[in-house]
Amino acid sequence: MKKRIAVTGTGAWSPLGNTNAAAMAAFRSLRNRVSVQSEVLGSYQNFNTSLGAVVSESLPPYPRKKTRTMGRVGTLAAAATEDALRSGGFLESPDLRNGRTGVAYGTSGGSFAAMEDVSRFIAGKDMINLHGSTYPLLMPHSVAVNLSIFFGVTGSVIATSVACASGSQALCYGRDAILLGREDAMLCGGAEEYSPFFVGVFDALFQTSQGTDPSRSPRPFDRSRDGIVAGEGAGTLLIEDWDHAIARGARPLAEIVGAASNSDAVHITSPDSAGMERCMRMALDDAGLPPSAIGYVNGHGTGTELGDIAESQATYSVFGHGVPFSAFKCYMGHTLGAAGALETIYSILMQREGWFAPNLNLTEPDSRCGDLDYITGSGREIDAEYIMVNNFAFGGVNTSLVIRKAG
């Protein structure tokens, strides 16, 4: 019999706040958390964008001995993971460090401070610009291994670095580790810090918002969309074998009943609708559900022309007009490696409350996008037993998760 996978704890640090209550209040306010980032971007020349969305709360004062190889991205991840462990009643559990709990965590890269060190080393050809923590701060698996060390987790370490799908792919692989019987529990998620480098990556592709009114950007699926607004944050989900969770007295928040990840294998930056559609159908097959069982779809919704059109057309091919649809980057920007984890957490919160946030700034859907049931206005009350969360990344890496409401 296939194991059941419970979500028993969550932690989210994002531009919407660092508590569930703060995030839901931000969604219900129908206002985004985008602002002009002159302090971060102002010293750089030739940026097309000036916008961003950052975490405003102060990070926990962890000892420097623990954080010196973590940077801001790793510290955000530690804060979110501590919250997930505490909310799941697992922080002091002996099971956390018994070798049957692992970490699956994603990020697009390491800390920007280390990137600056390497740049000075290359430009100046001087070893004085490198130090012992440079590579540990920069390496793609930095966040995953730092979390393992920080919390003493001795099980599997799975590091995903697939850009915008890093956090959700970590959930896919963490779930697999439990399904295969290798672990009883996994700490899964993703993190990213706001930096000129990641903003510049999208800016160089002419994919960033050039808007001057932060309240109006980004605007996914709208005819007047103008591109991505970069964000930051971290999201962690504690997932467990269902029987393990019940045996220790945990109360499941949700159940991950289906998951899939695939590749378009078409283009490094241009998305492919057919690959996205295949991924959604794979997740439904894994869950053993027809498309009609899904009560809500949370989209990737970056606010780029190619991405919005491909994603919405793929979603329409699977679900038609019948499923309510919205995306969250219009509230908190594109949090890159954290996006999949944060959007899954927030979708679960809304599923439990029975209210789903609308697409902000969507006043006139692009006629080239799929004819979906875009949630607008003040949101919508929906009693959804099953929901789907989708993320699509550079390189054509796609992920889809199917989540059942628990309790």
Q: What is the pLDDT of residues 12-44, one digit of tens each?
A: 999 999 999 999 999 999 999 999 999 999 899
Each residue of 293-348: pLDDT tens digit? 999 999 999 999 999 999 999 999 999 999 999 999 999 999 999 999 999 999 99
Sign of torsion over alpha carbons 134, 137, 138, 142 = positive
For residue 126, the model assigns a pLDDT of 85
Mean pLDDT of all residues belonging to the chain: 96
> What CATH number does residue 152 fall under?
3.40.47.10
Q: What is the mean pLDDT of residues 191-217?
A: 94
362: containing domain: 258-405
Share of the chain above pLDDT 70, in %: 100
**What one-character DSSP code corresponds to residue 376?**
-
In this prediction the pTM is: 0.97
Q: Are residues 50 and 140 in the same domain?
A: yes
The answer to whether the CB of 57 falls within 8 A of the CB of 17 is yes
Q: Is residue 339 in a domain? A: yes
Tell whether 199 and 282 lie within a shared domain. Answer: no
**Per-residue pLDDT band at 4 (split at 50, 70, 90):** very high
- Asked if 228 and 370 count as a contact pair (C-beta separation under 8 A), the reply is no
| Domain identity same for 196 and 306 | no
Provide the pLDDT confidence category of residue 254 given band limits of 50, 70 and 90. Answer: very high
Out of 172, 188, 334, 369, the active site residue is 334
Do both 84 and 230 map to the same domain? yes
Query: Which member of 164, 172, 279, 330 is catalytic?
Result: 164
The answer on 349 and 264 residing in a single domain is yes
Structure tokens of 395? 């390189």
**Mean pLDDT of all residues in 193-199:** 94
Q: What is the pLDDT of residue 118?
A: 87
61 and 127 share a domain?
yes
The total domain count for the chain is: 2
| Same domain flag for 95 and 231 | yes
- Do 203 and 316 fall within a single domain? no
Band of pLDDT at residue 382, cut at 50, 70 and 90: very high
Which tokens in the block code for residue 237?
């989900």
Average pLDDT, stretch 247-256?
98
Is residue 141 among the annotated active site residues?
A: no
How much is the pLDDT for 331?
A: 98
Q: Is residue 52 scored above 90 in pLDDT?
A: yes
Query: Mind listing the pLDDT tens digit for each residue in 78-118?
Result: 999 999 999 999 999 999 999 999 999 999 988 888 888 88
Of 223, 247, 271, the last residue of a domain is: 247
Q: Which pLDDT belongs to residue 337?
A: 96
Give the pLDDT confidence score for residue 269 in this predicted structure: 87
Residue 376 lies in a domain: yes
Q: Do 242 and 274 belong together in one domain? A: no
Residue 175's contacts (CB-CB under 8 Å, 6 or more residues apart) are 5, 186, 188, 239, 256, 259
**Would you place residue 161 in the very low, low, confident or very high pLDDT band (cuts 50, 70, 90)?**
very high
Domain boundary among 203, 223, 247: 247
Classify residue 201: in a domain, yes or no: yes
Please check whether residue 133 lies inside any domain of the structure. yes
184 found inside a domain:
yes
Average pLDDT over residues 243-266: 97
Express each pLDDT in 124-150 by its tens digit.
888 988 888 888 888 889 999 999 999
Q: Return the axis-axis angle of helices 339-353 and 20-29, rounded to nearest 10°.
A: 80
Same domain assignment for residues 60 and 103: yes
Q: Give the residue, 1 or 37, on which the prediction is more confident.
A: 37
- Which residue, 219, 247, 275, sits at the end of a domain? 247
pLDDT at 300: 98
Q: What CA–CA distance (Å, rounded) separates 401 from 404? A: 10
**pLDDT of res. 124:** 87
Q: Which of 141, 172, 300, 330 is catalytic?
A: 300
| Residue whose tokens read 């419970």 | 6
Domain match, 262 and 395 both: yes
Cα-to-chain-centroid distance, residue 300: 9
Q: Is the pLDDT of residue 203 over 90?
A: yes
- Distance of alpha carbon 40 from alpha carbon 31, whole angstroms: 22
Residue 253 belongs to a domain: no
Is 267 a residue of the active site?
A: no
Give CA angle at 404 (399, 406), nearest 5°. Answer: 140
> Is 334 an active-site residue?
yes
Query: Looking at the structure, do residues 230 and 303 belong to the same domain, yes or no?
Result: no
